[in-house]
Structure 1
Amino acid sequence: MFHKPQDLIKRTPADGINRPEFLKQLVQEFRKTNSAESKLQVLANLANFAYDPVNYLHIRSQKVIDLFLEQLTSDDNQLIAFAAAGLCNLVNDPINKDYIIGNGGIQNIEKNLSINDDNIILSSITTLMYLYAPEIKTGQRIISDETSGIRSEIFLEECDNKFTYQQWRYTNGVAEGCELLKGQSFPLEMNCDYLNGISFNKGCYVGQELTARTHHTGVTRKRIMPLIFDDTPTGLDLDADIYNESDPSVKRPPGKLRGLCGKIGIALLRIDECLKAKRLIVGGFTAKTFIPNWWKMSSLLYIKLVMLSQLSRRLQSTRALMVGDRVVISKRVDESDINDFARLSGDTNPIHSGDRPLVHGIYLAGLVSGVIGTKLPGAGTVVVSKNLRFPNACYAGDLVKIEVEIQTIRKFVRCGFWCRVGDKVVMEGTADVIIKRLTKNQTLTV
């Protein structure tokens, strides 16, 4: 897309192009046509125009935002998806934001969060984040020479200046300098988006694509956040691991300490997990985190949006899945299960009966298919190929732990799976799957 007026001029044909007139014709075409396909094409074009800020003035003059808002209540989910995408593309502009709020946009966007369509949900979540965002007022830092006379305007004692500024930063979850994890974290995790340190409309930098994708899907799981300690800690390392006090033995700690100033600290934390923890523990010292009040939403709204983003992942599209997603369930296989399967399959081999019946290998494969089809990736999943190994035997009465993990996401989604009895693997393998969208007449249990 073009981002500057001079870029448009360079690419404009000699006979010119009237962008307001073109947008006007698109809107008129949408209003007049009775063709559902034409309406979809027009709305998709308008949503694409909404991506570039240079078009905002024309979009407002031709009432395109009104058209998007109207289609949020359409009976056609495709029209809703394009309308939600259009609003998501232009909501970062303050004038557009105020217009959407003033015309009742929030209510209809919130209603669409219940629609079984991950694209609609993700666009709606991102739009709501902007609409609920207050103006960010994080203060100012003043650097001056001795002759400026500004010291008379500053009410902090000289000895307290640096300490008080550091306390202020930590209380508000604002990191700087060595507190930032250079080369190890994304800009969004350092709150650069909340601090207006990233432009999503222009620029080119290393990691831009991943940063933009993470921003627009609305799922940033870790951020720099404040820590309030119950007692003043001593002897803590800058990179000290942070644990949930109720689960200190977990292999992957939910946070890392990044700075300390008296009883106030700053840390990179997994948001949902750490907010739910009654107490966090850092090197033997207990602490609590919270959402700074200058963030883009209240604590309750933030938790709500995190939960909704997790819900959208369970609506099962390859866009929402992530490598490393995992689910584990357990089932005790009894003799009646083996007998029922033998009856259905016709496999009455004597090894599956007697004093210690052997569980059918394909029965275990069926348990894995049940997890893949209902849990991860979930409803709509179709297995196209599967590889199996049976390194150990499984018998009637065994408690089987079934584990499925997303390994790669390309043309097909590859799932690894394991069936374990105690510490023994009784079946393992991989499955390549595709994920089909459900129609309106099909139901999805989340």
Structure 2
Amino acid sequence: MTGGQTAALVGLSLVAAALGWLKWKRPGWYWVGFGWLATVMRLLWTYRSVMEACGLTEQPSRSRVILAAALHRMPDRALPKPRRIRITRFGLVLRIKMLPGQDVQDFDAATERLRHSWRMQGVHVRSLKPGFLEIRLIGYDVLRNVVMPRDVPAAGLLKVPVALRADGTAHMRNFRASPHELVVGATESGKSVYLRALVKELAKQPVALVGIDCKWGVELAPFARRLSGLAYTPDEASDLLDVLVEEMIQRYELIRASQGLGTGVAVDEITSDVWGLPDDLRPAPIVLIVDEVAELFLIANKSDEKRRDHMVTQLIRLGQLGRAAAIYLEICGQRFGSDLGAGATALRAQLTGRVAHRVNDEASAKMALGDISLRAVSAATNIAIDRPGTAVVGLLSGGWARIRSAFVSLDETAAVCAQFEHLAPDIPALAPFRPRRTALPSQGKQPA
């Protein structure tokens, strides 16, 4: 082997090693630079064979059969027609025109086969319009190192990005579309990080944040400067829930008084919720965050049972009637099951949104996702312990997806809450529960 051949071999080895390192350490850079080209070539070269192997072809049309007979050839089966391939930072987006008789479920059932055939990290299918669908091919594990996309849609009031989905899109928490949500997750599962991301984004909006934290406030107290109310114990939580229910009733009375049931009122001025009220009359939205909801259900003796039943009843009332009054619930806990006691199942029925992090028991996953999909329950119970922040979420479309929250530290969220302290709405009924800042105890030594 000559010196030139040796140098060329060494150079190729170094390039291969560099690409291997880049693919492992910076998969996004590798994909944008090199990965997409190989994937597009593989997709175009194997498209027909993969569609046939996955059972996504159909019988040829009559005209093709006649033409093939005239040429003494065997007609090819009809293929779904690819219309466009778009390269993204996370993978490829393939737009396909379906054949007559096909539907989105046919392609959704074949996602695992398509993933292995094209050697992709993930395949996600969604309908665009009648006859067309979108196949999103993910080139690498986007949930390993979460980087929120730059093209996040403009967040409106009560609509904030909180995590990244496995298909590379931002997961939005939309309180207007899904008023109440249940978030479950074991210790160190990333549930608190999800909650911090939510508080951090909501703190930037003119929304009243109210908390119930029966762990003596250690989770929510750092955000005190932005909170309009905070309860540390079950007794305080009971009083706070009573105030919120009374506030809800007053808002309904305001809506009824503003409907203008007399003559001369335009039809488009009649409303059944606060969002139809004029801006100067509309009360500020309230988001109630309950951390460790199981603490509200626990009872130590017979005297606690009455308080427990009363709190659960008030929570159910807020869940049933709060949406029209712009009062929303974010219920969090390490576990949530019917064994918590009376009212647990009724409360869950009011919580449209479902998020399940890694849980210690299958019952909690079933309680959160059982009425969405058994595959979602299985996915939630199989979340690895070394992937904190990963969760399975029920989608408004009826399906489910894997998400992962970017790490948000406690001091980062507290700093944002302090920065936007002025946005906390003034709600007189919540004034007694407004947390007060106290000076930290001195860390120096006491004199002898």
TM over 0.5: no
Structure with the bigger RCO (C-alpha within 8 Å, sep 6+) is 2
TM-score normalized by the length of structure 2: 0.25
TM-score by length of 1: 0.25
